[in-house]
């Protein structure tokens, strides 16, 4: 009997040794500094929004993660995920394990409050975040519920050849210089190689919020503390408070709107009256249509973001004669520091509490890898957009576009539309200006004071903001 027990003990010890060798590493040295231990054939599903930056970068990270740690990452791409994510998380059915998409503040606060998503406090340490505001986003009731992704600036995408033909070596850095450039474009004989149209100064997306980013960036440049105070305000009873109103209706915001009105001065063209500095049709364009028109050579510049090259990669191949680059929004006050409106909150990561593979820890492990030094550098190289975290950017292998985007981020103060205040999370502080700029462009032609007087516009915006104040604020109290 003793001999049999000795044999069994030896076999058990041998199996344990073989088991340790099966992964090639022991649990003590297998994490490569990430804290992730290789798994035994697990699977994690990721539902990812397939817009703008696409999902190829995420699929690549999934393949790398499987090669390193043995877990299969199944990325399910969808261009309509924004519209279906709430139904998925509230249906009671099994969901994807991880989501990468956009959701409004009040949506994810509701999911957090009802237990539909899990806390991510232990995924990324606070000191890893790029700025205090990138850490603050996604926080509610002392927990972090989502992790932001790309620190993507919006600005000016411009045609390099057109700019050079007009005698410029770089895009204007002040707003007065921008208006002068617009005049020179209109006075020139520039025509599009692809469409034969006379080149307009600017094409922009009237159906989406790209011009809103110009407004935010210029506001944060003139008054960075006032801009931050607007998003961070906490007075839940301030709907009729004059101090609260002054955070939105003030000298800085009025100055910004006045300069943007200058950009929309009307003129008469063959297609009727339209904004002088805009390509005809801009008021009805989507962002894709505006960017397409720019690539066709119909305008010297467009308002877009760091995602432009990835979002338009197929169209860029069709218009390979269009050389383009990226610049920050010109400054209103050249004595102030430049600023870049950062597209945050944009797409972000969160983990479902009812994931189909019921493995929250492994889902967290994949996010730890995505947001590791290695994962962040791979992603930045692939997409050409900086991320919301600190990592070594000195050895990146970026193309010309990625270098231009990085240069804007490095030189400008990032202005983010968001905070962790309950008032912001209620959805009240939306700065919903999307409809203002196309209406402004049309109304200027008709001398409609409601859209050509900055103070009237801001007062109307404030009234819109407080219309549903009590109901919205109450949802996060």
Are 100 and 226 found together in one domain?
Answer: no
Phi and psi torsions of 152, nearest 5°: -95, 115
> Does residue 13 form part of some domain?
no
> Does residue 20 form part of some domain?
no
Lowest mean pLDDT among 229-238, 249-258, 341-350: 229-238
Are 195 and 282 found together in one domain?
Answer: yes
Lowest mean pLDDT among 8-12, 183-187, 215-219: 8-12
Q: How far apart are CA 129 and CA 141, in angstroms?
A: 19
Omega before 197 within 30 of 0, i.e. cis: no
141's tokens: 């009731």
Lowest mean pLDDT among 39-48, 166-175, 421-430: 421-430
Write down the H helix ranges in 23-80. Answer: 56-69
Question: Given pLDDT bands bounded at 50, 70 and 90, which one contains residue 121?
Answer: very high
Q: What is the pLDDT of residue 13?
A: 41
Are 350 and 302 found together in one domain?
Answer: no
Compare 37 and 151 and report the one with higher pLDDT.
151
Question: Given pLDDT bands bounded at 50, 70 and 90, which one contains residue 22?
Answer: very low
**Rg of the chain (C-alpha set):** 26
Residues 6+ apart with CB under 8 A from 465: 248, 428, 429, 430, 432
Compare 142 and 7 and report the one with higher pLDDT.
142
Task: Give the mean model confidence (pLDDT) for residues 443-447.
Answer: 68
Q: What is the pLDDT of residue 398?
A: 96
Q: Is the pLDDT of residue 95 over 90?
A: yes
Task: Give the mean model confidence (pLDDT) for residues 45-60.
Answer: 95
Q: Is the pLDDT of residue 224 over 70?
A: yes
Are 192 and 88 found together in one domain?
Answer: no
Task: Give the mean model confidence (pLDDT) for residues 199-203.
Answer: 95
Question: Given pLDDT bands bounded at 50, 70 and 90, which one contains residue 449?
Answer: low
Q: What is the pLDDT of residue 462?
A: 86
Bridge partners (DSSP) listed for residue 275? 266
Are 301 and 179 found together in one domain?
Answer: yes
Q: What is the mean pLDDT of the chain?
A: 87
Task: Give the mean model confidence (pLDDT) for residues 30-35.
Answer: 57
Compare 268 and 184 and report the one with higher pLDDT.
184
> Does residue 445 form part of some domain?
yes
Q: What is the pLDDT of residue 470?
A: 80
Compare 280 and 266 and report the one with higher pLDDT.
280
Q: How far apart are CA 271 and CA 155, in angstroms?
A: 28
> Does residue 413 form part of some domain?
no
Q: What is the pLDDT of residues 130-163, one digit of tens each?
A: 999 999 999 999 999 999 999 999 999 999 999 9
> Does residue 1 form part of some domain?
no
Q: Is the pLDDT of residue 214 over 70?
A: yes
How many whole angstroms from its chain centre is CA 171?
23
Q: How far apart are CA 332 and CA 30, in angstroms?
A: 53
Are 364 and 254 found together in one domain?
Answer: no
pTM, full prediction: 0.88
Q: What is the pLDDT of residue 207?
A: 87
Rounded-to-5 percentages of helix, strand, coil across the chain: 45, 15, 40
> Does residue 298 form part of some domain?
yes
Are 336 and 353 found together in one domain?
Answer: no
**Backbone conformation region of residue 268, classed left if phi is above 0, alpha if psi is from -120 to 50, else beta:** beta
Q: Which of 328, 363, 387 is the last residue of a domain?
A: 387
Q: What is the pLDDT of residues 385-409, one digit of tens each?
A: 999 999 999 999 999 999 999 999 9
Say which residue the tokens 């104040």 belong to: 469
How many residues appear in the chain?
477
Q: What is the pLDDT of residues 352-361, one digit of tens each?
A: 999 999 999 9
253's tokens: 């915001």
Are 72 and 213 found together in one domain?
Answer: no
Q: Is the pLDDT of residue 20 over 50?
A: no
DSSP string across 426-452: TT------TTHHHHHHHHHHTT-HHHH
Task: Give the mean model confidence (pLDDT) for residues 162-177.
Answer: 96
Q: What is the pLDDT of residue 27?
A: 35
Q: What is the CATH number of the domain that holds 165?
A: 3.40.190.10
> Does residue 409 form part of some domain?
no
> In 10 A of CB 266, how many CB atoms?
18
Q: Is the pLDDT of residue 437 over 50?
A: yes
Query: Within 13 A of 280's CA, how many CA atoms are on the CB side?
Result: 10
Strands (E), 348-455: 348-351, 413-416
Q: What is the pLDDT of residue 15?
A: 40
> Does residue 411 form part of some domain?
no
Are 136 and 181 found together in one domain?
Answer: no
Question: Given pLDDT bands bounded at 50, 70 and 90, which one contains residue 266?
Answer: low
Lowest mean pLDDT among 10-14, 206-210, 371-375, 451-455: 10-14
pLDDT exceeding 70 applies to what percent of the chain?
Answer: 88
Are 299 and 375 found together in one domain?
Answer: no
Task: Give the mean model confidence (pLDDT) for residues 87-116.
Answer: 94
Q: Is the pLDDT of residue 46 over 80?
A: yes
- Determine which helix (DSSP H) or strand (DSSP E) holds 172, and give its type and residue range: none
Phi and psi torsions of 182, nearest 5°: -60, -40
Are 168 and 310 found together in one domain?
Answer: yes
157's tokens: 């995408």
Are 361 and 320 found together in one domain?
Answer: no
Q: Is the pLDDT of residue 192 over 50?
A: yes
Q: How many domains does the chain have?
A: 2
Task: Give the mean model confidence (pLDDT) for residues 30-39.
Answer: 67
How many whole angstroms from its chain centre is CA 418?
12
Q: How far apart are CA 118 and CA 115, in angstroms?
A: 7
Q: Is the pLDDT of residue 444 over 60?
A: yes
> Beta strands 299-305 and 153-159: pairing type?
antiparallel
Q: Is the pLDDT of residue 238 over 90?
A: no
Range of the domain at 124: 36-148+345-387
């Amino acid at each position: 009997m003793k001999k049999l027990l000795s044999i069994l003990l030896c076999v058990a010890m041998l199996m344990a040794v073989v088991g340790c060798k099966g992964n090639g590493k022991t649990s003590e040295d297998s994490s490569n500094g990430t804290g992730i231990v290789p798994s035994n054939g697990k699977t994690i599903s990721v539902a990812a929004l397939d817009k703008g930056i696409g999902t190829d970068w995420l699929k690549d990270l999934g393949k790398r993660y499987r090669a390193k740690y043995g877990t299969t990452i199944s990325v399910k791409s969808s261009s309509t995920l924004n519209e279906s994510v709430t139904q998925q998380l509230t249906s009671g059915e099994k969901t994807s394990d991880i989501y990468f998409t956009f959701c409004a503040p009040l949506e994810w606060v509701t999911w957090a409050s009802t237990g539909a998503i899990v806390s991510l406090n232990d995924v990324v340490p606070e000191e890893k975040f790029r700025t205090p505001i990138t850490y603050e986003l996604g926080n509610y009731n002392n927990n972090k519920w989502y992790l932001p992704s790309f620190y993507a600036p919006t600005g000016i995408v411009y045609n390099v050849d057109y700019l050079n033909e007009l005698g410029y070596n770089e895009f204007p850095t002040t707003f007065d210089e921008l208006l002068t450039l617009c005049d020179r474009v209109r006075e020139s004989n520039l025509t599009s190689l692809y469409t034969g149209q006379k080149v307009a100064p600017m094409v922009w997306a009237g159906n989406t919020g790209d011009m809103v980013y110009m407004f935010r960036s210029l506001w944060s440049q003139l008054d960075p503390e006032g801009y931050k105070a607007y998003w961070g305000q906490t007075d839940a009873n301030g709907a009729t408070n004059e101090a609260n109103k002054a955070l939105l209706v003030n000298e800085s915001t009025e100055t910004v709107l006045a300069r943007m009105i200058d950009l929309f001065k009307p003129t008469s063209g063959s297609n009727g009256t339209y904004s002088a500095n805009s390509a005809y049709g801009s008021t009805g364009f989507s962002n894709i249509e505006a960017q397409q028109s720019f690539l066709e050579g119909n305008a010297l510049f467009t308002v877009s973001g760091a995602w432009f090259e990835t979002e338009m990669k197929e169209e860029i191949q069709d218009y390979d004669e269009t050389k383009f680059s990226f610049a920050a929004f010109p400054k209103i006050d050249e004595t102030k520091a430049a600023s870049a409106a950062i597209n945050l909150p944009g797409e972000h990561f969160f983990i479902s509490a009812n994931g189909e593979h019921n493995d929250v820890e492994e889902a967290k492990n994949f996010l730890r890898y995505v947001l590791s030094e290695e994962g962040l550098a791979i992603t930045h190289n692939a997409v050409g957009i900086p991320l919301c975290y600190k990592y070594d950017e000195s050895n990146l292998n970026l193309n010309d576009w990625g270098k231009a985007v990085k240069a804007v981020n490095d030189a400008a103060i990032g202005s983010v539309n968001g905070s962790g205040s309950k008032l912001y999370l209620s959805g009240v502080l939306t700065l919903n200006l999307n409809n203002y700029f196309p209406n402004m462009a049309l109304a200027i032609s008709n001398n409609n004071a409601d859209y050509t007087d900055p103070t009237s516009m801001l007062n109307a915006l404030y009234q819109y903001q407080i219309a549903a104040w009590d109901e919205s604020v109450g949802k996060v109290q």
